[in-house]
Amino acid sequence: MRYLKPLVGILLILSAAGGLIYWELQGRQMIMQEKVLVTARKVNQGEIVTRDMFSVAGIDHNNIMEGALGEKSLDRLEGKYAKHAIPQNAQIALDYFSEENLELKKGESVFSLKPGWIDSRSSSVRKGDLIEIYDERGEILLGMFKVAFVKDNSDKEITSLDGVRDDSLAILERTNATGFISNIEIITTVNQYSELVKFIEDTGNGLLIVQAGDHS
């Protein structure tokens, strides 16, 4: 019996130590953390997504950003393009990526459609959309263009009210915006842009902006 109490004491100490080790290695993560996808390296703008770009990390619940993707979301990302550069070890959201590469091609640049030029457009136009530009009566098609930016009158990009980009939503689902559209910037060439300007100057007509369906 005299050895029983010390033995029980040793077992209790070992049990407590084992429990502490388990808590630090597994328990804390299971209770206080959630596994999310993070970038395994820097992802460059326009880069096509591959599985090796990401890893899984345990993040404390109060440090997980809104819209962060879990480890089961990787299949949804493969084949998409990065809309902007993402640093290493960053959490990611679906709206960081697009079905199409928005990088500029040779000879292209970003040009502004001045507010005074636009006679009609939808409030749901967003970055990445394809738009058709007509004369104000819709009789003359002046071209199809990719939207680079949609800004309000303080030159801030239009997003949903919660600050999340809503260009990944279907057109009819874009119901909450941070402001009113003032300026639309398109991707085109100098020659194509010059033709638009010449049409406006020669005719005095405004432009009708028509979305060419969901950009995805």
Together in a domain, 96 and 120: no
CATH of the domain at 78: 3.90.1210.10
Q: Could you tell me the pTM of the whole model? A: 0.52
CB 38 within 8 A of CB 90: yes
C-alpha angle with apex 139: 182 to 129, nearest 5 degrees? 40
- The answer to whether residue 11 sits within a structural domain is no
The Cα–Cα gap between 133 and 119 comes to: 11
Detail the DSSP E strand segments found in the chain. 33-39, 54-60, 81-82, 97-98, 108-113, 118-120, 130-135, 141-151, 183-189, 207-211
Q: Residues of the chain whose pLDDT is less than 70?
A: 1-12, 14-32, 100-103, 159-179, 213-216
Cβ partners under 8 Å of residue 65, min gap 6: 91, 93
Give phi and psi for 31, each to the nearest 5.
-90, -40
Together in a domain, 87 and 132: no
Together in a domain, 192 and 136: yes
- The answer to whether residue 119 sits within a structural domain is yes
- The answer to whether residue 165 sits within a structural domain is yes
- Domain residue limits at 188: 108-211
Together in a domain, 67 and 114: no
- The answer to whether residue 59 sits within a structural domain is yes
User: How many domains is the chain partitioned into structurally?
Assistant: 2
Residue 15's nearest CA partner among 148, 7, 169 is 7
Q: How far apart are the first and last CA of the chain?
A: 77
Residue 148's nearest CA partner among 98, 93, 197 is 98
Among the three residues 85, 103, 121, which one is the final residue of a domain in this structure? 103
Among the three residues 103, 134, 161, which one is the final residue of a domain in this structure? 103
Helix intervals (H) in 26-121: 28-32, 74-77
Query: Which tokens go with 202?
Result: 């020669």
Together in a domain, 84 and 178: no
Together in a domain, 61 and 114: no
* SS3 (DSSP) at 57: strand
The Cα–Cα gap between 95 and 74 comes to: 14
Please tell me what DSSP assigns to residue 40: S
- The answer to whether residue 13 sits within a structural domain is no
pLDDT digit string (tens) for 84-106? Answer: 888 999 999 988 887 766 667 78
Among the three residues 56, 74, 103, which one is the final residue of a domain in this structure? 103
Together in a domain, 87 and 39: yes
